[in-house]
Structure 1
Amino acid sequence: MTQRRKVGNILALALLSLLAPGEPLHPYEMARILRRTGKEQDMNIKVGSLYTVVQNLEKHGYIEAATTEREGRRPERTPYAITPAGREELTDWLGELVAVPQHEYPRFRAALSILGVLSPDRVVRLLRQRLEALNAESAAQREQLAAAGELPRVLLIEVEYTLAMREAEAAWVRGLLTEIEDETLSGVKEWRDYHQRGTRPPSVWKELLDTD
């Protein structure tokens, strides 16, 4: 079971990880490192909200100013260090993310849940377009791994994971395309009929509207 975090923005996790080695950093240095390491590709983070997250981390005792000198009280000139509470929060939060599967709502899943709004022929065209994009992304990630040379795999596992997910999705999309096109997908004939007639079959409406 996941915990409710005092600072739940995933950017907070990234910032705590930057401070974990023990070297104090200014917020502008944190932003620079996040950009240079491409963390926005790994996490849904918005660097524009960085100062707000820094303030919230300080408020809850996860980080602290490493010096009392604040030129004009400008937060970007204040270096911050992680506190013991911050280290505990970092390891607990990260451990939870690694160990506990979380139910998320990917946009593609949302689209699949109402796919019947589009005609089967249009869906086939769109899925082919998606498959082409997935294959291009996979090729780019394979190139990234190849260009990494002798870097230890532990530094590349997030790229390997993304590649594996892309390839698994591509395989599933190819299978779905085949089933739609050869009409072996259960319900595809009714789906086509719906778009030809413009109304749902009465039996479907009855099943959806029946109360217990």
Structure 2
Amino acid sequence: MKRRAVSNPLALAVLANLLMGPNHPYEIGRLLKEQGKDRDIKYNRGSLYMVVEQLAKAGFIAEHETVRDTQRPERTSYALTDAGRTELYDWMRELVSTPAQEYPSFGVALSLLVVVPPAETVELLGQRHAALTAQVDEIRDTMRQAAEQGVDWWFLIEEEYRLAVREAERTFVAGLAQRLADPEYQRMWDDFVRGRTP
């Protein structure tokens, strides 16, 4: 993956928002939350303003207008620069076309799973399976409601992706729990622990 001047995914969302026209950070944050982008992009008000500063420093956005209103603090809107437009499209093309090595916390847990006794691991995986089932039901309900409201499918592709990932993980978790419940795994785990215990 290419090293970027500003690599925070929130920066990409800001660039994409400004593609529609100049805007100020407060409004960008409101739109991200309203559109449900906060499920995929972690941010708060402070991080949003910090990213805006980084993008401006990198030359990807520039101040467009500052509005002074006695009722509210002054607000500066920003516009996308030509360099920002180029960065947006280059970054998007890379993300869509090239799989990246990600480091999900569940992957870390799986790599160290042997430290937890098998019976407890099976119980914990059962809890995870139940949580995943609840998430799958919630996503399906969200998508159903959106479809009933006439929302076009391309506005729901991130929800389809979330659904596919959680369904795949749920299937994996159920199969793993079944394998770990096998008495043969318990025997191998006992031998491993005895071999490691002084």
* TM-score using structure 1 length: 0.84
* Paired residue total: 194
Q: Assess, with a 3 A threshold, how the Cα gap between structure 1 residues 87 and 123 changes in structure 2: closer, same or farther.
A: same
Asked whether the 8 Å contact 1:26–1:76 carries over to 2, the reply is no
> Which of 1 and 2 has greater Rg?
1
What is the deviation of 1:75?
9.2
Q: Tell me what 2:175 maps to.
A: 175
**C-alpha distance in structure 1 between counterparts of 2:96 and 2:4, whole Å:** 16
The code of the aligned residue for 1:145 comes to: M
Within the candidate set 128, 134, 139, 1:141 is matched to: 139
The C-alpha deviation readout for 1:27-81, integer Å capped at 9, x for no partner, is: 11111111211211012334321111111111111111113x4659x99611111
Q: Assess, with a 3 A threshold, how the Cα gap between structure 1 residues 38 and 47 changes in structure 2: closer, same or farther.
A: farther
Q: Tell me what 1:210 maps to.
A: none
Q: Find the residue that maps to 2:2 and give its secondary structure.
A: coil
Q: Tell me what 1:63 maps to.
A: 61
Q: Tell me what 2:9 maps to.
A: 10
What percentage of aligned pairs have identical amino acids? 46
**C-alpha distance in structure 2 between counterparts of 1:181 and 1:56, whole Å:** 50
Q: Runs of 5+ in structure 1 lacking a partner?
A: 203-212
Q: Find the residue that maps to 1:65 and give its secondary structure.
A: strand
Q: Tell me what 1:44 maps to.
A: 42
What is the deviation of 1:157?
0.6
Q: Tell me what 1:200 maps to.
A: 196
Q: Runs of 5+ in structure 2 lacking a partner?
A: none
Q: Assess, with a 3 A threshold, how the Cα gap between structure 1 residues 76 and 59 changes in structure 2: closer, same or farther.
A: farther
The C-alpha deviation readout for 1:161-197, integer Å capped at 9, x for no partner, is: 110110001101111111111246xx552213345x4
**C-alpha distance in structure 2 between counterparts of 1:70 and 1:158, whole Å:** 35
Q: Assess, with a 3 A threshold, how the Cα gap between structure 1 residues 134 and 168 changes in structure 2: closer, same or farther.
A: same
Q: How does 1:66-77 map to 2 (within 5 A)?
A: 66-67=64-65, 69=66, 71=68, 77=75
Within the candidate set 69, 89, 101, 1:103 is matched to: 101
Asked whether the 8 Å contact 2:68–2:75 carries over to 1, the reply is yes
Aligned Cα root-mean-square deviation (Å)? 2.2
Q: Assess, with a 3 A threshold, how the Cα gap between structure 1 residues 148 and 200 changes in structure 2: closer, same or farther.
A: same
Asked whether the 8 Å contact 2:25–2:77 carries over to 1, the reply is yes
The code of the aligned residue for 2:8 comes to: N
Q: Find the residue that maps to 2:196 and give its secondary structure.
A: coil
* TM-score using structure 2 length: 0.90
Q: Which moved more, 1:166-175 or 1:58-67?
A: 58-67
**C-alpha distance in structure 1 between counterparts of 2:142 and 2:73, whole Å:** 36
Q: Assess, with a 3 A threshold, how the Cα gap between structure 1 residues 200 and 29 changes in structure 2: closer, same or farther.
A: same
**C-alpha distance in structure 2 between counterparts of 1:117 and 1:5, whole Å:** 38
